[in-house]
Chain A
Amino acid sequence: MTMTDQPTGVLGSRMLRREDPALLTGEARYTADLVVPGALHLAMVRSPYARARIVSVDTAAAVTMPGVRAVYSGADLADTWAGPMPCAWPVTEDMKNPTHLPLAVSQANYVGDAVACVIAETAEAARDAVEAVVVEYEPLEAVIDLEDALSDRVVIHDEIGTNRSYTWDLKIEETEGACDAAFAAAAYAVKERYIQQRLIPAAMEPRAVLAVPQPFGGDMTLYSATQVPHILKVMTALTLGIPEHQLRVIAPAVGGGFGSKLNVYAEELLCVALAKRHGVPVRWTETRSEGCQATIHGRGQIQDIELAADANGRLTGLRVRLIGDMGAYLQLVTPGVPLLGAFLYAGVYELPKAFDFSCTSVFTNMTPTDAYRGAGRPEATYAIERAMDSLAYEIGIDPLELRRRNFIPTEKFPYEAYTGLVYDSGNHDGAATLAAEMVGYDELRERQRSQNVPGATKRIGIGLSTYFEMCGLAPSRVLASLNYGAGGWEAATVRVLPTNKVQVVTGTSPHGQGHETAWSMIVAEKLGISPDDVDVLHSDTAIAPLGLDTYGSRSLAVGGVAIAMTCDKVVDKARQIAAHLLEANPDDLEFAGGEFSVAGSPDRSMPLAAVAFEAFTAHNLPDGMEPNLEAHTTYDPPNFSWPFGTHICVVEVDTETGETEVLRYVAVDDCGNQVNPLIVDGQVHGGVIQGLAQALFEEAVYDSDGNLRTSTLAEYLVPAASDVPPVITGHTVTPSPTNQLGVKGVGEAGTIAATPAVINAVVDALSGLGVRNVPMPASPNTVWSIINAAQGGSQ
């Protein structure tokens, strides 16, 4: 709503996304749309048991079926792998990581774990042959409950002898014992347990893979519906022992990921391995049920959080104990997810150095978990924002008032937090004030007082979430301190072609975010040309050889900034050339509107187009200058970026049915300067709905034997447009001082903020009935049961 310090011109305009016409008309080509003659189809034989010894795999009948080319068990391919499936984040030195192969050899460890595979001439023939593969299993007891897993009553992986993967601690105290002392001296303390249910990412486009061997020279092209073509290339090379330079990875149009395509999957490795072995293309397209079972799940944590506060409600100490559900194996960044949240448990509040965090992560016989939109940060934000509401209740003050007392004051930014991390900029009170105004906070509280009277069956609840985001992943040295197996830089090339059209090569890998639009806007602003004259090249390791891809709300704050910096280099070089041709001092040249002119003599000028052509012909360049107008940057950000905001959700709960209706949802987000507010709004809308879905709808449900009961979209409740409220967006703009665009990132903010806002609203609605907590998802049945329990029996 309020826009300050926003540059004028292309940047900051609500330009329509150039990606959309192709997406909306079905012209966009996804991996499964690519037509490659002679490709064989891969189909997977998956374990129906959560934990079972593989006694034998009989492929004889399947292999003789029409159209079937080959059938492989895990044992058949065991020698194919140069290494196990990769986990790039060994968070502690003693972290346990059981062997994880694309096809299990001796034991299956979750329903959906692949134990054999078929390649056939058609997808139908492959699917039929899967039914003919006879696997003899010896079912073993499965471990589903996290605390049961922790007890090691049943150990899932013999080879590591325990279900504990690691314990990671982060204790930050001014003096030894500061945290305990804070609790001992606390005027108020709350202790809460929250469960982060497992979520199924459910991207619109399922995963799909196509590996195409090149006819000569041994090169391989891997097309995959992935967020991370660059990481996938390195990992595939390592896992398969293929020379990296002979592998090219392309992510065609990719229909959403939310973290689920930030990984290296068995099917990717199998397609490459079998394409190589058979010398023909091999492809695989996931079915939705496979997507539910064999693509990573999100969340899955038990959180114990304790807050200590002084008599004014100011936080004095914070203690967190987590149990993380890794699922059956560690995928690419599985163990690191809780760590990403560890730094956000104090949210937007001032906390003295009295912080005690410990996370123990365990294996279970369920689908592996990994990063899912927000990755660790939604969990942390949920815990602190729910606990702040409990504290407000305990003290007997309004939750907004309690937050105001604890906000980091605006004048203290940049602010060095208790963790040592420096928050770049912030205005928490500003965002909260705007959100409260937009939603009509005071009137709503009035209405609540008059509506939620004893006996009322429609009760109003107002829920707040004042959140911090840690994005722009990431300064490489900080990642090193967390033992992450890669850096956090991003690469950009800007190339002005002879005709003054511009190619931008980015290492980010968009899958719905609109980078082509946004990056072209940055270049247009910088070079004074039209965005239409900028082409953005990405997601193909042969075209964009350097990059670290797209996740963690990093693309703009790292990749976009890299582009802006590269444009500066281009302009610098062009300035030298223009000065040379205009016979002027480079320092006397002004660059505006795509034209260099000599300060004070506007008739002496030269458009960038002319410079570009001169750079191309190289007929008359300054001595020693290389031809062509092109520059490259690899940018390692000096800090994370810290977007923030306030979301307020208003619900009405029908206490007879337990149904929650969202009456109003206001999202005020501050992501620094906005390149394209239309895209920002889109990200906020989608993010909020995804966060609201966790609060009210979604849960991956397992029975006690480890069967996934939500393996289709009929049972796994992804809400549709008709099931969710309109999202009213507002913004404050507090530019980041750490990058030249002043941008922060907005890809995950909505998801991070929404879940606690919604649940806080539901709990607030029911607080008059004695309800203090509502588990997620707050389904009607759950809410009804909670009310009954609080009222001491059935109604």
Chain B
Amino acid sequence: MIPAAFDYVRASSAEEAISLLGQYGDEAKLLAGGHSLIPLMKLRLAQPTVLVDIGRVSDLSYIRDAGDHVAIGALTRHMDVETSPMLLEHVPLLAHATSHVGDPQVRHRGTIGGSLAHADPASDLPATTLALGATYVVTGPNGTREVAASDFYQGYLTSVLAADELLTEIRVPKMNGAGWSFQKFNRRAQDWAIVGVAAWTRGSESGVGLVNMASVPVLASSVSSALASGSSIADAAALAADEADPQADLNASVEYRQHLARVLTRRALSEAAG
């Protein structure tokens, strides 16, 4: 478990990080909490030659009330999201889903921005922020742009982020009293989900995000449409795998994943409604 040799530079601001990325080009990788990147490097599945450490860019660690949404700095640690009174009040689904990420050690190091930028469909937060209709703020050499969560993910571990861009903020709409549920199905408590479902409902409105059901996080929009047009929870949940395109792995066959998505969606919608 020895990574290939690399250089290390520490950025003290977002601007500095962006200019360092520009300087080193494709060879460089941002290092936030390191809890996705370092394991890949130790297995030599990733071999960046320069690490640009943004772990101490403390002005990107915040959780702010921004009126209709809550703004979360990309460097905010999972533990801070999980325990934030503001999120617990206004976006409890995100705080709760975050409490299911790995174990306490992982949650004290890992960051929300790192989790989203890593774009792993098996991670909990991409699907959760997708279900919540979040917007991500991306900063590059030419300033910032806003990307809807639904436009961000392009494929397995790939997003619209350019090599010299930084994810800086996540804007999550307040849930305004919506019912919610997070169903994570795994075999060991600290593992990634075999299938996960993040759901909220408010009247005829709803959002359902699926974890590990395709090469990207999935928004189960058929379920929401069915609910909006008056379907029962059971009938709507039966559509949960319609947008999904899951892979088989050691834990689950394709059919089993589809089945789990339907069962967990039904349970999630029932809990959210209850």
Contacts and interface: CB of A to CB of B under 8 A. Distances in A.
Interface of A: 123-124, 127-128, 131, 287-289, 656-659, 697, 701, 709-710, 712, 714-715, 717, 719-720, 722-723, 779-781, 784-785, 794-795
Nearest to A699: B250
Contact of B252 (A710, A723, A781): A781
A697 B187 contact: yes
B5 A780 contact: no
Contacts of A709: 250
Given A289-B43, A656-B263, A781 B251 contact: yes
B259 interface: yes
Interface string B247-259: 0001111011001
| Interface SS of A by simple majority | loop
A720 B190 contact: yes
B4 A128 contact: yes
Contacts of A657: 185, 260, 263
Interface of B: 1-2, 4-5, 43-44, 185, 187-191, 194, 250-253, 255-256, 259-260, 263
Contacts of B251: 779, 781
Contacts of A794: 255, 259
Given A657-B263, A781-B256, A785-B256, A710 B250 contact: yes
A124 B188 contact: no
25 contacts: A123-B2, A131-B44, A287-B1, A289-B1, A656-B263, A657-B263, A658-B256, A697-B187, A697-B188, A717-B187, A717-B188, A717-B191, A720-B188, A720-B189, A722-B188, A722-B189, A723-B187, A723-B188, A781-B251, A784-B256, A785-B253, A785-B256, A794-B255, A794-B259, A795-B259
A779 B185 contact: no
Contact of B187 (A131, A656, A779): A779
Contacts, number: 56
B250 A701 contact: yes
Contact of A784 (B44, B191, B259): B259
Contacts of B263: 656-657
B261 to A, nearest CB: 11
A703 to B, nearest CB: 10
A722 B186 CA distance: 12
B220 to A, nearest CB: 18
A788 to B, nearest CB: 9
B250 A722 contact: no
B159 to A, nearest CB: 22
Of B188, B194, B253, most buried by chain A (CB within 10 Å of CB) is B188
B256 A723 contact: no
B115 to A, nearest CB: 16
| Centre residue among B190, B255, B256 by max chain A CB count within 10 A | B256
A287 B39 CA distance: 13
For the complex of A and B, 8 pairs with smallest distance between CB atoms: A722-B189, A127-B2, A287-B1, A781-B256, A723-B188, A656-B263, A781-B252, A124-B2
B253 A781 contact: yes
Given A717-B187, A720-B188, 17 more contacts: A287-B2, A289-B43, A657-B260, A659-B185, A697-B187, A710-B250, A712-B43, A717-B191, A719-B188, A720-B189, A723-B188, A723-B189, A780-B187, A780-B194, A781-B252, A784-B256, A785-B253
A127 B4 CA distance: 9
A466 to B, nearest CB: 29
A785 B251 CA distance: 12
Nearest to A712: B43
Contacts of B256: 658, 780-781, 784-785
Nearest to B187: A717
Nearest to B188: A723
Contacts of B188: 697, 717, 719-720, 722-723
A546 B189 CA distance: 45
A204 to B, nearest CB: 15
Contacts of B44: 131
B154 to A, nearest CB: 24
A701 B251 CA distance: 11
Contacts of A128: 4-5
Contacts of A715: 250
A683 B187 CA distance: 25
Given A720-B189, A723-B188, A784-B259, A124 B5 contact: yes
A657 B260 CA distance: 7
Contacts of A701: 250
B64 to A, nearest CB: 33
B123 to A, nearest CB: 13
Contacts of B259: 784, 794-795
B57 to A, nearest CB: 29
Contacts of A127: 2
A712 to B, nearest CB: 7
Contacts of B5: 124, 128
A712 B4 CA distance: 19
Contacts of B253: 781, 785
Contacts of A723: 187-189
Contacts of A123: 2
B3 to A, nearest CB: 9
Contacts of A124: 2, 5
Contacts of B185: 657, 659, 780
Contacts of B2: 123-124, 127, 287
Nearest to A714: B191
Nearest to A722: B189
Contacts of B189: 720, 722-723
Contacts of B4: 128
Contacts of A287: 1-2
A340 to B, nearest CB: 30
Contacts of A658: 256
Contacts of A289: 1, 43
Nearest to B190: A720
Nearest to B252: A781
Contacts of B250: 701, 709-710, 715
A302 B11 CA distance: 58
A372 B251 CA distance: 24
Contacts of A288: 1
A781 B246 CA distance: 15
Contacts of A720: 188-190
Contacts of B194: 780
Contacts of A717: 187-188, 191
A208 to B, nearest CB: 13
A710 B250 CA distance: 9
Contacts of A795: 259
B260 to A, nearest CB: 6
A714 B1 CA distance: 14
A788 B251 CA distance: 17
A719 B189 CA distance: 9
A715 B194 CA distance: 12
A123 B185 CA distance: 39
A709 B259 CA distance: 24
Contacts of B260: 657
A212 to B, nearest CB: 23
B185 to A, nearest CB: 7
Contacts of B1: 287-289
A785 B44 CA distance: 36
A117 to B, nearest CB: 15
B43 A722 contact: no
A784 B187 CA distance: 14
A123 B2 CA distance: 8
B210 to A, nearest CB: 15
A715 B5 CA distance: 26
A128 B6 CA distance: 12
B266 to A, nearest CB: 9
A717 to B, nearest CB: 6
B47 to A, nearest CB: 10
A132 to B, nearest CB: 12
A723 B260 CA distance: 20
A720 B2 CA distance: 25
A781 B195 CA distance: 12
